[in-house]
Amino acid sequence: MVTMQIISFISLADVASQKLMMMSVYVLIMLVFHLLGITLYKGVNWKISTYLTIWFATASSVLVIIAVLAMRSTKELTKIIDTQVFNYFNDYSSGVIVILIFMGLSLYLYASSKKETLKKIKVV
């Protein structure tokens, strides 16, 4: 999930359709492994584990994005390594949209799992 979210920030005009395909493949792989994990997990509420997975992956992506942006703006780093590769990291509109979608999904799952937990407590 982290890789897919970081790919959403990369801007390559020549391969825009390939970027969408790569992101789709990552989402499918993510879903397959997450569904496998949910079937093996014998927990009470699958929404909580899904919420935590999405939230931590998105938080990790945001940290990586901040690190890349910090490296882009550091003049001393350009003396040590070639920072030309960071020039492709400039599709902020699609990247922010993907991050917001995953954060929104995560918060929705958290809120719905909280409601279910409160209902179960009232029943008992």
Range of the domain at 95: 2-123
Region 86-99: mean pLDDT is: 86
The CA distance from 76 to 10, in Å, is: 23
In single-letter form, the type of residue at position 74 comes to T
Which residues, other chains included, contact 46 with Cβ-Cβ below 8 Å and sequence gap of 6+?
38
Query: Can you tell me which residue has the tokens 């982290």?
Result: 2
What is the rounded average pLDDT for all residues in the chain?
A: 83
Q: 38-92: per-residue pLDDT in tens?
A: 888 776 678 888 888 899 999 999 999 998 888 888 888 877 887 777 778 888 8
Summarize the confidence of residues 87-105 as an average pLDDT: 89
From the number of C-beta atoms within 10 Å of its C-beta (0-12, 13-18, 19+), residue 54 rates as buried
- Whether 124 has a pLDDT exceeding 60, the answer reads no
Per-residue confidence (pLDDT) for residue 39, from 0 to 100: 84
- The 3-state DSSP class for residue 71 equals helix
Phi, psi of 30 (to 5 degrees): -60, -45
Residue 37 in this model has a pLDDT that exceeds 80: yes
Query: Number of structural domains, the chain?
Result: 1
The confidence score (pLDDT) of residue 43 equals 66
Q: According to the model, what pLDDT value does residue 63 have?
A: 94
Residue 89's φ and ψ, nearest 5 degrees, are -90, 70
